[in-house]
Chain A
Amino acid sequence: NAGVTQTPKFQVLKTGQSMTLQCAQDMNHEYMSWYRQDPGMGLRLIHYSVGAGITDQGEVPNGYNVSRSTTEDFPLRLLSAAPSQTSVYFCASSYVLGQPYEQYFGPGTRLTVT
């Protein structure tokens, strides 16, 4: 049981480039989400999904796209990278029923946009 995995661990992009951050979980969790962590800001929700085919925006969705075609995967796409998107990105998952707020986090992707 690998839990929540994220790739890559590190990435450097130039302004205007696009890329996809990968997230996968093997716990059969319905709920998946993406957060970004910036100094002094805590973790802020970007997008989330309550099941395959269902996604919604969080607090800071601009510049990011998501899709959920399977229960296991929830990729985050940066459409045209900007220096303001330099951050550490965390993917998380949890069950929808039971204790849904005890989300399990991946190890993070550190992204630098120059």
Chain B
Amino acid sequence: DQQVKQNSPSLSVQEGRISILNCDYTNSMFDYFLWYKKYPAEGPTFLISISSIKDKNEDGRFTVFLNKSAKHLSLHIVPSQPGDSAVYFCAASDAGGTSYGKLTFGQGTILTVHP
């Protein structure tokens, strides 16, 4: 049972426009969410995170929104740049439980930003 789902395998966006990547989760115990970015032949790198006590977190061009009632989060990239082309993984954790530190990942979304 996939507890974290990224239903869009790929997304194509024009440079300068907004990229919106979506993620849904089913486990109501998840209370900390992260986005990772992965280039080919490299390991994932941390991008941005959000705690369940917030509904928005911003870091430069990247903003993550959390809708707890819908169990949905999204990553907005504005403006998108060709260097943002990568695979984006959503991840979730149960911070307060015994699964401390364990991350559950979504399947990933391939973002392509065209010049």
> Which residues of A does B touch, CB under 8 Å?
4, 31, 33, 35, 40-45, 48, 50, 58-59, 90, 92, 94, 96, 99-108
Contact = CB atoms under 8 A, between A and B. Distances in A.
B: contact size bracket: 20 to 34
Given A41-B107, A43-B89, A101-B93, A4 B43 contact: yes
Contacts of A40: 9, 107
9 contacts: A35-B105, A40-B107, A48-B101, A100-B101, A101-B103, A102-B49, A103-B46, A105-B36, A108-B43
Residue among B32, B45, B102 with the most chain A CB within 10 A?
B102
B41 A107 contact: yes
B66 interface: no
A43 B49 contact: no
B28 to A, nearest CB: 18
Contacts, number: 65
B59 interface: no
A85 to B, nearest CB: 19
A43 B101 contact: no
A50 B44 contact: no
B21 interface: no
**7 residue pairs, one from A and one from B, having the closest CB atoms:** A105-B43, A42-B105, A43-B105, A42-B107, A102-B46, A105-B44, A31-B101
A41 B107 CA distance: 5
Given A101-B32, A101-B93, A102-B46, A96 B101 contact: yes
Contacts of B41: 107-108
A33 B45 CA distance: 15
A24 B105 CA distance: 23
A104 B101 contact: no
A97 B12 CA distance: 38
A104 B108 contact: no
Contact of A90 (B34, B44, B46, B107): B44
B43 A106 contact: yes
A4 B45 CA distance: 12
B49 A101 contact: yes
Contacts of B105: 35, 42-44
A96 B32 CA distance: 15
